[in-house]
Amino acid sequence: MSTHLVIGDPHCTPNASNERFIWAGHMARDIKADKVICMGDFASMESMSSYDKKKKSFEGRRYRKDVEHTHDALSKFNKGLNKYNPEMHMLLGNHEDRIDRMVEENPELEGAMSIDDLCYPEYGWNTYDYRLPVVLDGIYYSHNFPSGVMGTAISGENVARSLLNKNKVSSTVGHSHLLDYAVSATPSGKKMMALCAGCYLEHKEKYAFNTQRLWWSGLIVKRNVKGGSYDLETVNYQEVKKRYGRRS
């Protein structure tokens, strides 16, 4: 059996401090996590945003600033680990995918920017393409899972139950920033568990000015993970800050 530390979408941005990544590293070490999984959107990549391009709020954002701030966050997480060495798994999210989409829409940028600029593997993370799941101890992890012929992300208020109904395996996602959990069992008694892992941030996101109050922020611990089953513990952001803020 193993212990997983799950980091919901952190949305690293130059507009917010990276100290929370030191705290997450401390927690991974303290709980002796065997595996750390980031659910995607580690880098917010606001310089690539289509939401506010050509708006006043977009002025001053630059690609290199986003990349450098992401490197700082990755470095701070490793600092928090303090030489502890868990397996680390980085799922790419739709925010990292902004880089590929920008190059696809502007071919003249090819060679000037790439997801490789984020250097996740260089900081010790096994990295997985957007929407391609990785299976760890029987749990299917993906930033989100597509559904239907259009590939729309499985989402909604009861996203965990939808994941069980559609995937029929233990699944964990990020993306919506909500916290939701559901369990079902096969006739043999085998448990299938679905989780939407919230996010890990404190700063305000302008695009979510009227919905961010619905989000859950913090870190998630899965203990005794085996065959897709686990014991779940949620630690909200303020509790993480209380435990580890003084140590950073």
Condensed to tens digits (0 to 9), the pLDDT of residues 32-76 reads 999 999 999 999 888 877 544 544 444 335 888 999 999 999 999
Partners of residue 140 on adjacent β-strands: 135, 171
Copy the structure tokens of residue 146.
Answer: 């597509």
SS3 (DSSP) at 111: coil
pLDDT value of residue 121: 97
Distance CA 95, CA 48 (A): 8
Distance CA 192, CA 124 (A): 30
CB 170 within 8 Å of CB 228: yes
Listed by start position, the domains of the chain span: 2-132+203-247
Condensed to tens digits (0 to 9), the pLDDT of residues 107-135 reads 777 777 888 999 999 999 999 999 889 99
**b/e burial code for range 117-126 (CB count within 10 A of at least 16 → b):** bbebeebbbe
Condensed to tens digits (0 to 9), the pLDDT of residues 126-173 reads 999 998 899 999 999 999 998 876 678 877 778 999 999 999 999 999
